[in-house]
Amino acid sequence: MRHNKKFNHLGRTHSHRSAMLSNMTASLILHKRIFTTLAKAKALRIYAEPLLNRGKEYNMQNWRLVFSHLNNKEAVKELFKEVGPKIANRPGGYTRILKTGNRLGDNAKMCFIELVDYNEAMLKDSAAAGKGKKTRRSRGKKAEAPAAEAPAVEAPATEAAE
């Protein structure tokens, strides 16, 4: 019977699927972002998030458990030394999936899966949103600012000429 077996098998045997997810998790930890199909990314999230959760606390039991899943010493070192301390105060949701469209050859849905705390573009946007909202009325203030900066740039040039 097929009771309670609802995860995606991805058209692979158990050994092939576990090896693929292990390699993809190691690549995700090392490169912080990978490009893959949507189905693989959703399966990877289920596989990787518990391992990332173990990486928040460094002890021998967690290290051995993560290494038994990944079989990649560099990825385990990266997880416990860099990724773990950075996600230590996050309660969950360590990965983000960004859909990119369909692949040309077979029209498969493609996406990026990335570690949330390592996307510099998203972090800059959230920091800019915290500064304040810019409106169209603020253009008058921008025109005054370059005029004030222009003499400051010219002054050192004239001193150097003298």
One-letter amino acid of 35: F
DSSP label at residue 12: S
Residue extents of the structural domains in the chain: 14-120
pLDDT value, residue 121: 73
Q: What is the pLDDT of residue 142?
A: 52
Dihedral (Cα; 116, 65, 78, 92), 10-degree rounding? 20
Q: What is the pLDDT along the chain (162 residues), one digit of tens a residue?
A: 889 888 899 999 999 999 999 999 999 999 999 999 999 999 999 999 999 999 999 999 999 999 999 999 999 999 999 999 999 999 999 999 999 999 999 999 999 999 998 887 777 777 777 665 556 665 555 555 555 555 554 545 545 554
How far, in whole angstroms, is CA 1 from its chain's centroid? 39
In DSSP notation, 143-162 reads: HHHHHHHHHHHHHHHHHHH-
Asked if residues 48 and 28 have their Cβ atoms less than 8 Å apart, the reply is: yes
The fold for domain 14-120 equals 50s Ribosomal Protein L17; Chain: A, (3.90.1030)
| Predicted local confidence at residue 133, as pLDDT | 59
pTM: 0.74
pLDDT for the residue numbered 97: 96
